[in-house]
Amino acid sequence: MTDRTALAEFLRTLRNRTTPESLGLVPHPGLRRVRGLRREELAQLAGLSVSYYVSLEQGRALHASADVLRAIARALKLDEFEENHLLDLGAVQAQRGKRRRRRTERLDPHLLELLHAIPDVPAFVHGPSLDILAWNRLGHALYAPHVDHDSVESPATRPNIARLVFRDPEARALYVDWHAKAEGLVGLLRDNAGKDPGNTALSDLIGELSVYSPEFAGLWTKHVVRPCSVLVVPLRHPHVGEMTVTQQALNSVSSPQQVLVVATVAPTSPSQHALRMLASLAAPLASSHALDRSVPQH
């Protein structure tokens, strides 16, 4: 997908999902042949000529300025994430950057130090394409006990969060509300793709999931943009049963594209008890970096 095509597709999606009534407009009388706003209506709301807006939506305009895109965002009443994504696509179009060669992502050593400093809190670090670059003992035990702990140490074997959720049945079973988790991941990938369209690892991942996961493909066409910051996630863990964690994504200052994800539980709650049980199960196996699958269900 070219930069102009990506911008055009996002604009069409935004317009088609918006009704005149939602913007306080009185629809023109007669039969409407479109689901959402007409191009003429959106152009008028944004203060643009109809011909110029049509050229944007058809991918023919060579450049869309930030002022024009902000006017469209205001007209459609976009939230901050959607507006930023629209501006990201416009900036990419202006720069007309090329796909970069794939490079091995190196873990920020400061993030690794921080990861080791919180052994009692489940945590892991991921990059923009959602490859897991490192995790602590509890992070591994909570999110992917069936995956080899040492797999994160090699770029060729690193687990990927999106692949786990969409293509790994054991990882999928972890999430009580799998659909909400899947939607959140797609929104995050859409946001990352807009910020870094030259990332070949990210575009290859999106292509792979679009082919092998019909659920991903369906969600991707909705153009939901939603970076993850704080989420309450109910889990059904194979070794300690149901628990609810508050998942927080913390961006690194020194390596902004790398994110530290930590999972906390409410004090004195059943979830805290479950987490302590998980820690006790994982502790004897820390040297071998794997949970025994024979541990009975609790």
Tens digit of pLDDT for each residue in 161-191? 999 999 999 999 999 999 999 999 999 999 9
**CA atoms lying within 13 Å on the CB side of residue 49:** 4
* Rg of the Cα atoms in the chain: 22
- Residue 130 inside a domain? The answer is yes
Of 69, 95, 121, which marks where a domain is finished? 95
CA distance 195 to 198: 9
- Residue 188 inside a domain? The answer is yes
Per-residue model confidence (pLDDT) at position 292: 43
Per-residue model confidence (pLDDT) at position 218: 93
- Residue 295 inside a domain? The answer is no
Other beta carbons less than 10 A from residue 6's beta carbon: 20
In angstroms, what CA-CA distances link 116 with 110, 181, 213?
10, 27, 35
Q: Are residues 175 and 207 in the same domain?
A: yes
Q: Are residues 279 and 226 in the same domain?
A: yes
Taken as a whole, the chain contains a residue count of 298
Per-residue model confidence (pLDDT) at position 290: 43
> Each residue of 33-87: pLDDT tens digit?
667 888 888 888 888 888 888 888 888 877 788 888 888 989 888 888 888 888 8
CA distance 221 to 114: 37
Q: Are residues 75 and 213 in the same domain?
A: no
Q: Write out the DSSP string of 230-263.
A: EEEEEEEETTTEEEEEEEEEEE-SSSTT-EEEEE
Per-residue model confidence (pLDDT) at position 92: 65
Residue 70 is part of which domain span? 3-95
How many domains does the chain divide into?
2
| Coil/strand/helix, residue 164 | helix
- Residue 127 inside a domain? The answer is yes
Contacts with 117 (C-beta within 8 Å, 6 or more apart), sequence order: none
Which residues in the chain land under pLDDT 50?
A: 97-99, 101, 287-298
Per-residue model confidence (pLDDT) at position 34: 67
> pTM of the predicted model, to two decimals?
0.73
Per-residue model confidence (pLDDT) at position 275: 97
Of 61, 95, 129, which marks where a domain is finished? 95
Per-residue model confidence (pLDDT) at position 41: 86
| Coil/strand/helix, residue 111 | helix
- Residue 101 inside a domain? The answer is no
Q: H or E stretch including 88?
A: helix 80-95
Per-residue model confidence (pLDDT) at position 287: 45
What letter does residue 89 receive in the DSSP assignment? H
The closest alpha carbon to 37, from 86, 72, 81, 64, belongs to 72
Q: H or E stretch including 264?
A: strand 259-264
Of 40, 64, 95, which marks where a domain is finished? 95
CA distance 96 to 77: 27
Per-residue model confidence (pLDDT) at position 282: 83
Q: Are residues 138 and 266 in the same domain?
A: yes
Q: What counts of helices (H) and strands (E) characterise the chain?
A: 13, 5
Q: Are residues 135 and 239 in the same domain?
A: yes
CB 240 within 8 A of CB 277: yes
Please report the beta strands in 103-228, taking only residues with DSSP state E, as ranges in sequence order.
123-126, 132-135
- Residue 40 inside a domain? The answer is yes
In angstroms, what CA-CA distances link 70 with 76, 84, 172, 298?
10, 9, 38, 53
